[in-house]
Amino acid sequence: MRMIISLSTVLVATLLVFQTADARTAKPILHGKHWVAITGKPLAATAGARIFHQGGNVVDSACAMLAATSTMFDVLSWGGETQALIYNPNTGKVVGINALGVAPTGATPEFFKSRDLPYPPQYGPLAAVTPGTPGGLMVMLAEFGTMSLAEVLAPAMELAAGYPMEAQTADSIERLKEEIKKWPYSKQLFLTHSGEEREAPAMGEIFRQPDLLSTLNKLLEAEKQSLAEGADRKQAIYAAYDRFYKGDIAAEFVRSSTEMGGLHTLEDLAAWQVLIEEPVMSTYKDIEVYKLTSWVQGPVMLQALNMLEQLDMKAMGYNSARYIHTLYQVMNLSFADRDFYYGDPYFPPEEPIKGLLSKQYAKSRLRLLNHERNDPLVKPGNPYQFQKGRNPFLDLLKNWTNAPDARTGIMPPWQQASIDHDVFENDFLAGTTSIQTADKDGWVVSVTPSGGWIPAVIAGHTGIGMSQRMQSFVLETSQNPYNVVAPGKRPRATLTPGMALKEGLPYLSFAVQGGDIQDQVLVQFFLNMVEFGMNVQEAVEAANVISYQMRNSFGDHQAQVGRLLINEAIPDWVQEELLDMGYSLDVRPRTSGPINAIFFDRINGAFQGGASNFGEDYGIAW
Q: Where residue 287 sits, what CATH number does that domain have?
A: 3.60.20.40
The answer as to whether 217 is a domain residue is no
What confidence tens digit (pLDDT) does each residue in 369-388 have? 999 999 999 999 999 999 99
The answer as to whether 556 is a domain residue is yes
Give dist(CA 349, CA 578) in Å, integer: 40
Asked if residues 203 and 167 have their Cβ atoms less than 8 Å apart, the reply is yes
The residues that bridge with 493 in the sheet, in sequence order, are 296
Asked if residues 524 and 545 have their Cβ atoms less than 8 Å apart, the reply is yes
Q: How confident is the model at residue 443 (pLDDT cuts 50, 70, 90)?
A: very high
The answer as to whether 449 is a domain residue is no
Share of the chain above pLDDT 70, in %: 92
Q: What is the DSSP string of 40-52?
A: SSHHHHHHHHHHH
DSSP 558: -
Burial status of residue 340 (CB atoms within 10 A of its CB: 0-12, 13-18, 19 or more): buried
Sequence-ordered list of residues with C-beta below 8 angstroms from that of 71, at least 6 positions apart, any chain:
77, 78, 156, 159, 160, 163, 209, 212
The residues that bridge with 499 in the sheet, in sequence order, are 290, 509
**Residue closest to 469 by CA, chosen among 63, 119, 69:** 119
Interhelix angle 133-144/149-161, rounded to 10 degrees, is 140
Give residue 73's region: left, alpha or beta (phi > 0; psi -120 to 50). left
**Distance between start and end Cα atoms, the chain:** 46
Asked if residues 465 and 78 have their Cβ atoms less than 8 Å apart, the reply is yes
From start to end of 91-248, where are the E strands?
Answer: 93-99, 163-164, 206-207
Average pLDDT, the chain: 92
Check whether 197 has a pLDDT greater than 90: yes
Give dist(CA 135, CA 272) in Å, integer: 9
The answer as to whether 37 is a domain residue is no
Q: How confident is the model at residue 513 (pLDDT cuts 50, 70, 90)?
A: confident
The answer as to whether 117 is a domain residue is no
Sequence-ordered list of residues with C-beta below 8 angstroms from that of 503, at least 6 positions apart, any chain:
286
**What integer pLDDT is reported at residue 433 of this predicted model?**
86
Give dist(CA 608, CA 593) in Å, integer: 19
The answer as to whether 133 is a domain residue is no
**Residue closest to 415 by CA, chosen among 426, 399, 398:** 399
Burial status of residue 413 (CB atoms within 10 A of its CB: 0-12, 13-18, 19 or more): exposed
Q: How far is CA 336 from CA 127, 363, 380, 473, in A?
A: 25, 16, 5, 16
Query: How far out from the chain centre does Cα 543 lie?
Result: 19
Check whether 339 has a pLDDT greater than 50: yes
Q: How many domains does the chain have?
A: 1
Q: Strand, coil or helix: what is 14?
A: helix
Interhelix angle 210-228/248-259, rounded to 10 degrees, is 150
Check whether 365 has a pLDDT greater than 80: yes
Q: Which of 3-12, 119-128, 262-271 shows the lowest mean pLDDT across its residues?
A: 3-12
Asked if residues 239 and 223 have their Cβ atoms less than 8 Å apart, the reply is yes
Asked if residues 495 and 469 have their Cβ atoms less than 8 Å apart, the reply is no
The answer as to whether 6 is a domain residue is no
Give dist(CA 128, CA 301) in Å, integer: 27
**What integer pLDDT is reported at residue 409 of this predicted model?**
41
For 278, phi and psi rounded to 5 degrees? -90, 120
Give residue 576's region: left, alpha or beta (phi > 0; psi -120 to 50). alpha
Q: What is the largest CA-CA distance in the chain?
A: 90
What confidence tens digit (pLDDT) does each residue in 551-588 have? 999 998 999 999 999 999 999 999 999 999 999 999 99
Give dist(CA 71, CA 154) in Å, integer: 12
Q: Is the peptide bond before 455 cis (omega within 30 degrees of 0)?
A: yes
Give dist(CA 166, CA 319) in Å, integer: 34
Give dist(CA 102, CA 491) in Å, integer: 7
**Residue closest to 386 by CA, chosen among 326, 341, 328, 339:** 341
Q: Is the peptide bond before 131 cis (omega within 30 degrees of 0)?
A: no
> Could you count the other beta carbons within 10 Å of the beta carbon of residue 395?
9
Q: Which structural domain range is residue 583 located in?
A: 277-432+493-621
**What integer pLDDT is reported at residue 578 of this predicted model?**
97
Q: Count CA within 13 A, CB hemisphere, residue 223.
A: 22
Task: Read off the pLDDT of each residue in 443-454 and give the average, rounded to a whole number.
Answer: 96
**What integer pLDDT is reported at residue 100 of this predicted model?**
98
Sequence-ordered list of residues with C-beta below 8 angstroms from that of 13, at least 6 positions apart, any chain:
none
Task: Read off the pLDDT of each residue in 13-18 and give the average, rounded to a whole number.
Answer: 29
> Could you count the other beta carbons within 10 Å of the beta carbon of residue 88?
15
The answer as to whether 613 is a domain residue is yes
Q: How confident is the model at residue 591 (pLDDT cuts 50, 70, 90)?
A: confident
Give dist(CA 188, CA 197) in Å, integer: 16
**What integer pLDDT is reported at residue 426 of this predicted model?**
52
DSSP 439: E
**What integer pLDDT is reported at residue 215 of this predicted model?**
98
Give dist(CA 39, CA 66) in Å, integer: 9
- Output 4 or 405, whichever has higher pLDDT: 405
Give dist(CA 467, CA 101) in Å, integer: 8
